[in-house]
Amino acid sequence: MIRVAAVGDVHLAPDIRGRIRPHLAGIGEQADVLLLAGDLTQHGTVPEAEVVAGEFADLGIPVVAVLGNHDYQCDSERQITDLLRQSGMTVLDGTGVELDLPGGRLGVAGGKGFGGGFPHRCASEFGEPQMKAFVRHSRLLAEGIGKALRDLSADFRVALTHYSPVAETLAGEPPEIYPFLGSYFLAEAADSANADLCIHGHAHAGSECGTTPGGAPVRNVAQPVLKRAYAVYCLGEPGSQCAEPQPAG
């Protein structure tokens, strides 16, 4: 069994430094790895990323992250990625990583993802150049994540994104903004690799649990949804959730 801790949308900044760290004490007793599902900063600045690095460094377990839309706001995503990697995190951007953990070999692949919508209510790669570019961007990002997932050699595969792969975990958000919260391309990518779990954030008013068309569990780990510092999901035994960590402050 592999225990996967996950959270997203922590939106850290210098004025709330130290908000998360106390609730990560003992995380190594509850989980084998921590996944961060984007929107780690509030406005995508390097000083905010320095807070993120400090909050999640030296936890005693691997930390794997993707960036979210907030992390791109100031066009400093490359500096943010470099800083987080220097702190010891693995940051994925259409790439994957394989981890040898006590319960087996875990493969995680992912990236930010993008919007576009879901079957019967989605944008298409048709019409104006701007619309075609929007949908093409979403499709190409998802295809890169799918390839990275398929290339993994592991006992379990996890797809880690910021945007959602399914509409189910957006329930609670206004339906009008679903196309800006995720894309079915991400579900296709996960199902193409028979992913065992999909983790995402972004939908603060959404719901936690969903499923891809291929049957992979989907979990929205945006902190406003979890209402706790992180959730833990178990791979390798019936049922995906296996711990209730303490609430975030």
DSSP state of 138: H
Indicate whether 68 pLDDT > 60: yes
Average pLDDT over residues 224-244: 80
pTM over 0.85: yes
Tens-digit pLDDT profile for residues 158-187: 999 999 999 999 999 999 999 999 999 999
Among 6-10, 100-104, 120-124, which is the least confidently predicted range? 120-124
101 part of a folded domain: yes
Is 224 within the bounds of a domain? yes
Domain extent at residue 129: 2-243
Would you state the pLDDT for residue 246?
44
Query: Long-range contacts: 73-81, Cβ < 8 Å, 24+?
Result: 73/43, 73/44, 74/43, 74/44, 74/45, 75/44, 76/44, 76/45, 76/46, 76/49, 77/44, 79/46, 79/49, 80/40, 80/41, 80/44, 80/46, 80/49
The predicted-structure confidence for 107-137, as pLDDT tens digits, reads as follows 999 999 999 999 988 999 999 999 999 999 9
pLDDT at 121: 85
- Cα 159 to Cα 19: distance, rounded to the nearest angstrom: 27
The mean pLDDT value for 183-211 works out to 98
pLDDT at residue 17, as a whole number: 94
Tokens encoding 135: 């949908």
Report CA-CA distances (Å) from 82 to 50, 109, 183.
11, 18, 27
> Is 29 contained in some domain?
yes
**32 pLDDT exceeds 60?**
yes
pLDDT for the residue 244: 46
Angle at alpha carbon of residue 48, lines to 46 and 66, rounded to 5°: 85
Region 233-237: mean pLDDT is 90
Read off the amino acid at residue 185. F
**Is there a contact between 181 and 202 (Cβ–Cβ < 8 Å)?**
yes
The mean pLDDT of the chain is 94
Section 243-249 average pLDDT: 45
Write out the DSSP string of 34-57: EEEES--BSS--HHHHHHHHHHHS
**Number of separate domains in the chain:** 1
Residue 198: give its domain's CATH number: 3.60.21.10
Does some domain include residue 249? Answer: no
Q: Helices H, strands E: what count in the chain?
A: 6, 14
97 is a domain residue: yes
Q: Is 117 helix (H, G, I), strand (E, B) or coil?
A: strand
| Statement: residue 245 has pLDDT above 80 | no
* Lookup result for tokens 């999909």: 198
What was the pLDDT predicted at 239?
A: 54
Q: Is residue 227 part of a domain?
A: yes
On the question of pLDDT at 150 being above 80, the answer is yes
Q: Decide if 248 is inside a domain.
A: no
